[in-house]
Amino acid sequence: MSNQRKSLVTKEIVWQAMIDAFKKFNPRLMVKNPVMFVVEIGFVITLILSVMPNAFGGESNAFYNSIVSVILFVTILFANFAEALAEGRGKAQADSLKKSKQDMTANLLQKNGVIKVVNSTELRKGDIVIVTTNELIPSDGEIIEGVASVDESAITGESAPVIKEAGGDFSSVTGGTRVVSDRITVRVTADPGESFLDRMISMVEGAKRQKTPNELALHTLLVSLTFIFLIVCTTLLPIASYVNVVIPVATLVALLVCLIPTTIGGLLSAIGIAGMDRVTQYNVIAMSGKAVEAAGDINTIILDKTGTITYGNRMASEFVAVGGSKQEELYRAALHSSLHDETPEGRSIVELAKKMGVPESEWHISGTEGVEFKAETRMSGINFSDGRVVRKGAVDAIKAYVIERGGQVPNDLDTTANRMAKEGGTPLAVVDGTQVLGVIYLKDTVKAGMRERFEELRRMGIRTVMCTGDNPLTAATIAREAGVDDFIAEAKPEDKIAVIRKEQAEGKLVAMSGDGTNDAPALAQADVGLAMNSGTIAAKEAANMVDLDSDPTKIIEVVAIGKQLLMTRGALTTFSIANDIAKYFAIIPAMLMVAIPQMQALNIMQLATPQSAILSALLFNAIIIPLLIPLAMKGVTYKPMSATKLLSRNLFIYGLGGIIAPFIGIKLLDMLLVVVGLQ
């Protein structure tokens, strides 16, 4: 996955961000960030005072006003630069994706069977197109016929082509990808402008990002604090006049700017945009910032077993006859039950049966009807024209099927199936008519490092639940080996929804990953649904995140990034508010100690003059924003720990640090101003 991650910034992005930072001075844009808009108003006021010192009545120092004006300008510029820099990566990624949207032609299959070459923009939902070797797939769609190797590097960045085929969970294709070999027939599933690529472009463009509920709440807090301090500073002028204390307007503006939370106000948008961008670096497209933020609060993760916890390549490794049946009969029935099964498991059963010596005449039988696997029946098989019926499926489903039709269940069926299940395999019973012939042993293995990853989630306080259609013994074996907290065996789509709703009813947030149509309802129900790009259109439509690499375990990275986003926002908010404490000790005494000598006791930093105290605090307020941009972009280092420990750690590092840093910084700046003679 690390090979997918790209550098946070490039020279081009930085240069463009510098240009955009000046463009953002437009009041119509600035008003969207009330905190920085107030700073901009302060800048305009001090700029006027620099040219006309007596513009607002009273005496004022034009040089002092100019310095305050310049510092406020730089403060706004740095805040704008932080947001523009965060937006820059999203726009750069969007531009690279737009290159994939080139004018393409499509081989449209008309109702009369004639193929007509048309522009891809003329395609509509439901149209059928033919795509052959080296041709671009003109639009999002589902393969309805054929198998092909598809190069998806334009979307995922992965050079290795993937196999796409009709039926199953790997039938969806994305417009702009290229067919490397073979020929496929595709049914178009998106109108122009509604394709997955179109949605990806709009998703990664940071400027279009909507604020999340948590961010909106913090935004409301910042606006409230700004409004409160605006009232405080406005009332200071008449109060000071009443006690014969003259406060220059530029000083009042400086006080207001230092009191309001400008640091977090300037970095808030950058933090949110960068959070979505970090998800994108892992080749995950988030439909909204809300999804990333919700990932940070996840309490429970629902994971499929096959392909997520295990490698998913369950291959037939053994046929075991039961009830006195002959091995040859079992081989033949297993082959027949899988002739219409295009899944990897089905193909492996056919291959194993061939290796066991089933005659070639049994491989191709006409006049048969395939019965697809259904979650409700948990069986699949074949119907012959002479009335013969062969099925394979979950052992309990086959037992119920046989008993319902008056057949007998062999005594050694459960013993054989349980042995396979205890070994971590998946037993599939085979029935010909009403006679159970034996069991197919499918093997699957847990992915390397899964136990360690689940242990990491446990340290985060996240509960993991494995869902599988396997029998309880198999599920228990895999769950024990993988180290998940709980499991649900013989799970149907409604079971996944039920467990998600149960967790949500207890006030928990739930994440789930999936790729099949049967996963779509649960993906939609989950607070964070991560769909695989290789999966079905239904799954991708239902989810609020799509993994371009189709790695179901990436949900773990998504959760970590979500927590990092919340941590970063909380840490910088703590730091910003803590900063103000030191600024109070710099500006308040400076404003009043000439008229009220007793205020000198609060000048604990021993700042040289009232002017240098105010300018030092204002300079620190401006400089701290660019210094924190790398932290806002990269995020606070996240370590799995409980919420209580996390809060204590943040308060100690960023709370205490936010108090100490300004005392040191303001004092050093004061000394510098004395040296250069600006005190």
d(CA 124, CA 187): 10
Residue 5 pLDDT level (bands cut at 50, 70, 90): very low
| Gyration radius (Cα) of the chain, Å | 33
Catalytic, out of 151, 304, 527, 580? 304
Helix axes 249-259, 213-242, angle to 10 degrees: 150
Residue 404 has pLDDT above 70, yes or no: yes
Please indicate, yes or no, whether the overall pTM of this predicted structure exceeds 0.75.
no
φ and ψ at 35, to 5 degrees? Answer: -60, -50
Residue 91 pLDDT level (bands cut at 50, 70, 90): low
Mean pLDDT, residues 414-425: 83
d(CA 268, CA 576): 11
Residue 4 has pLDDT above 60, yes or no: no
Residue 420 pLDDT level (bands cut at 50, 70, 90): confident
Q: Which residues have C-beta within 8 Å of that of residue 385, sequence separation ≥ 6? A: 367, 368
- The pLDDT of residue 37 is 92
pLDDT (tens digit per residue) in 238-268: 877 777 777 788 888 888 888 888 888 888 8
Weakest mean pLDDT among 171-175, 468-472, 474-478, 596-600: 596-600
Mean pLDDT, residues 637-657: 77
Q: Does 362 appear as a known binding residue?
A: no
Q: Does 495 appear as a known binding residue?
A: no
> Structure tokens of 39?
């700073």
End-to-end CA distance of the chain: 54
* Average pLDDT, rounded, for the chain: 81
Catalytic site includes residue 549: no
| Domains, the chain, with CATH or none | 11-92+204-280+559-676 (no CATH), 105-203 (2.70.150.10), 294-309+447-548 (3.40.50.1000), 315-442 (3.40.1110.10)
Q: Does 378 appear as a known binding residue?
A: yes
Which percentage of the chain shows pLDDT scores above 90?
11
Helix (H) or strand (E) holding 119: strand 115-119
Q: Does 392 appear as a known binding residue?
A: yes
Residue 7 has pLDDT above 50, yes or no: no
Q: What is the largest CA-CA distance in the chain?
A: 109
Nearest to 79 by CA among 629, 614, 633: 629
Q: Does 341 appear as a known binding residue?
A: yes
The residue ranking higher by pLDDT, 67 or 422, is 67
Weakest mean pLDDT among 2-6, 316-320, 484-488, 576-580: 2-6
Mean pLDDT, residues 195-202: 65
Residue 208 pLDDT level (bands cut at 50, 70, 90): very low
pLDDT (tens digit per residue) in 319-351: 999 988 899 899 989 998 888 887 778 888 888
Q: Does 142 appear as a known binding residue?
A: no
β-bridge pairing 379-384 and 389-394: antiparallel
Q: Does 40 appear as a known binding residue?
A: no
- The pLDDT of residue 186 is 92
Mean pLDDT, residues 624-650: 79
Residue 261: CA atoms inside 13 Å, Cβ hemisphere, count? 23
Mean pLDDT, residues 220-239: 86
Q: Which residues have C-beta within 8 Å of that of residue 324, sequence separation ≥ 6? A: 410
Residue 565 has pLDDT above 80, yes or no: yes
Residue 29 has pLDDT above 80, yes or no: yes
DSSP code of residue 602: G
